[in-house]
Structure formats: structure tokens, C-alpha cells
Amino acid sequence: MFPRFSIGESLLPQSMEYLEQAGMLRAVEEGGFQLKDGAAFGRGEQYTEFDFSEKHSPGWSTTYQVPRARFDHLLAREAERQGAAVRYRHEVIGVDFSGERPWIEVKDRDGETYTIEAGFILDASGFGRVLSRLLQLESPSNFPVRGAIFTHIEDHISAANFDRNKILITVHPAHDDLWYWLIPFADGRASLGVVGKTSDLIQPSGREIEKLQSLVRQAPSLQRLLARARWDTPARKLIGYSANVRALCGPGYALLGNAGEFLGPIFSSGVTIAFKSSSLAAATLERQFRGEKVDWIADFAAPLKRGVDTFRAFVESWYRGGFQRIIFYAKPPPDIRRMISAILAGYAWDETNPYVRDTERRLAALEELCCER
């Protein structure tokens, strides 16, 4: 049912290109969302921020921080305005690829089922992961099981140096792999969450919100910032969100966004990857329906994977502590900082960036260079 809550509220500037391609940019720009122009990181008393206007790659340097209930509904309405049929509260419960063309089975809001024959199926079911479940495409994620507890608050942040135009990532002072996000919205509210290993998030008794509050108290800089916050919304918990599949496409179908792979939330890359996958799939499908010969692996999966692998290397570097050393390093060469800023802005497909072209080697070398803390 829309509007409905979804997690994933901090967009990356790269995603603006795809909103523009989809003809939805104006609606988003007029949506009254909180501007985002960079990312800030805190650890203990250390603080650093990346301004996306200072980035290696050309393209958008700003985007938005969006309550997804309203943002997703706005995009769905835009799709309808452009002619798409959107069926709210209809659930795909089965697929059949045995014939010449695939069929899907759908349950409507009254529990009645019906079938649709399709020329091609694009699965954008996110954590629902419809096709990967029904076609047994799931494969284990390379990442250890992590989880998140999160909520929305009335933040009442009065610190003069707090920048609402940036997501704030705070690293737990004692545990490098436990971190918090604070994503301010336009209306004085904010999304607040903590990510960690499952064992860090266990709450033997009491409510999730109490666990979140107790973890926030462990990060003094964040606790100070949120000293006057009103905690008015129950917290949610999501465990084991990382996912992978054996194949992103097959005869008659392709998997978009989280229905394929999900790396984790640290670089806010989820929506950008979902948009990129849609953009590649739409272009490939358009050519296919025009009668051109297309190769879904070469035209869709491989180019998508290029940027996903860039993000993956950065996520891995974050959790082994290397990327944290890089961003808090006191004397970063400005050109390298611009290249890193471009990745943080989502430009993970820009082959002119050495950190895209040669991600693992470059990152490993930079981690070495930034070894002094």
C-alpha cells in the first residue's frame, strides 16, 4: 500500500541523472525534499566532510534526503502519469517460464488471483526478491550477516556547525564496524539508524527503540547532537539484509535493484544502483522490442556489475578499517580526495576515475599510505 515506509533515504547525486532520464526530475525537484550536497563522517572527536561539488567526475553534485514513503509514492504517480499501469496491493505470487512467453500469477487486494502473460519480466521487488526465490537464483552474500535498527525522530538539532545538507555517518568510538547514520529531512525530522553485527543489536528485553537509544549514548558526539531529540516513532530492526544471486538475467527476465544484489547501506548506494539497473534494462528492452538482437549479459549485467563491484570494494575497505583510515587521514592529496568524493557521490561507473578503473589495487595502496592515525 502506498504511501508506505521504506528504508534507503539518502540519495546520491549520480541518481539525479537517472531521474532526469526517466522524466521525473522536475517532480522530485518540486517535491520539497531536503537538499544533500555531501557526506560527513565522525569518529570520537574526529570529523571530516566531503563536499560533492569537489569531485573528480562531471555531473550532478547535489541530490536529496527523502522520506521514502512520500518519495516512492511521487515516483509511482509520475510513472502512472507517463502511462504505466500501477496496481497497488497486488502481489506477485508465482511465475511460469515453461512456455514461449513467461506468465506471472498475481493476488489482488481481495485475495483473488489472476495471471498476466509478459513479453519480458523486470523484477524490481527489492527485499521481496520474488524471482530469485521462485527460480532459486539466490546465492549467499560475501558479506557477514549485519543488521540495522532505525527510526525517525524530531531531531531538534541546534548545533550551529551541524550541516543539514549532509548525511552524517558516526563510527562507534570503540567498535569500527558499528556505525550510525543521521539523515536530516526538510521538516525538522531525521532518519536515525545504527548498523552492526547481529550480536551488537541484540536486545534481551525491552523495545528496539531502547536499544537504539542506548547505542546512541555510546557515541558521545552523536548523543550531544541529539540531546533534545523527540523520539516519537517506534524503531524497526532488519537483520541479514545483504543478498546476492547467481545471475542477474536469464531467458525472459532481469533483476533490478535489490531484487538482484544488495551490498549494505554504508555508502547509500542502494537507490543509485537500483536506478542504474533500471536505466540499463530499459535501454536494452527498448532495443529488444524494436527487434534488435540484444545480449542481456553484455548490455545489462556486465555494465551494471562494473559499478557495483566498485562500491563492493569500498564497502569491504570500510569494514576492514581501511576506508575509515583514508577519510580521517589528516593530509589527503586533494586530487585523491576528489576521486573519493566522486565515488561517495555515486559515480562508480566513471572509468576516468582511477578508483573505478583499478579499484582494489588503488584502494589497497591508499589504505597503506594512510596507515598513520
Ligand X SMILES: Cc1cc2nc3c(=O)[nH]c(=O)nc-3n(C[C@H](O)[C@H](O)[C@H](O)COP(=O)(O)OP(=O)(O)OC[C@H]3O[C@@H](n4cnc5c(N)ncnc54)[C@H](O)[C@@H]3O)c2cc1C
Member of 67, 102, 265, 322 binding ligand X (CB under 6 A):
265
Q: Which stretch binds ligand X (CB under 6 A): 204-212, 269-277, 329-337, 354-362?
A: 269-277
126 Cβ contact list (under 8 Å, min separation 6)? 6, 257, 258, 259, 274
Q: Which stretch binds ligand X (CB under 6 A): 151-159, 218-226, 255-263, 347-355?
A: 255-263
Strand 121-123 relative to strand 113-117, pairing = unpaired
> What DSSP string runs through 233-265?
S--EEEE---BEES-SEETTEEE-GGGT-B--S
Quick check: 127 binds ligand X (CB under 6 A)?
yes
> What DSSP string runs through 193-221?
EEEEEHHHH--SSS-HHHHHHHHHHTSHH
Separation between Cα atoms, residue 305 and residue 312, nearest integer Å: 10
Q: How many residues bind ligand X (CB under 6 A)?
A: 28
Q: Which stretch binds ligand X (CB under 6 A): 110-118, 127-135, 332-340, 357-365?
A: 127-135
Quick check: 165 binds ligand X (CB under 6 A)?
no
CB nearer ligand X, residue 148 or residue 340? 148
Quick check: 346 binds ligand X (CB under 6 A)?
no
Residue 293 grid coordinates: 538482437
Quick check: 257 binds ligand X (CB under 6 A)?
yes
Min dist. Cβ of residue 321 to ligand X (A): 21
CB nearer ligand X, residue 148 or residue 336? 148
Separation between Cα atoms, residue 229 and residue 151, nearest integer Å: 12
Q: Which stretch binds ligand X (CB under 6 A): 206-214, 266-274, 305-313, 347-355?
A: 266-274
Q: Which residues bind ligand X (CB under 6 A)?
A: 6-11, 91-92, 124-128, 130, 148, 193, 238, 241, 257-259, 262, 265, 268, 270-272, 274
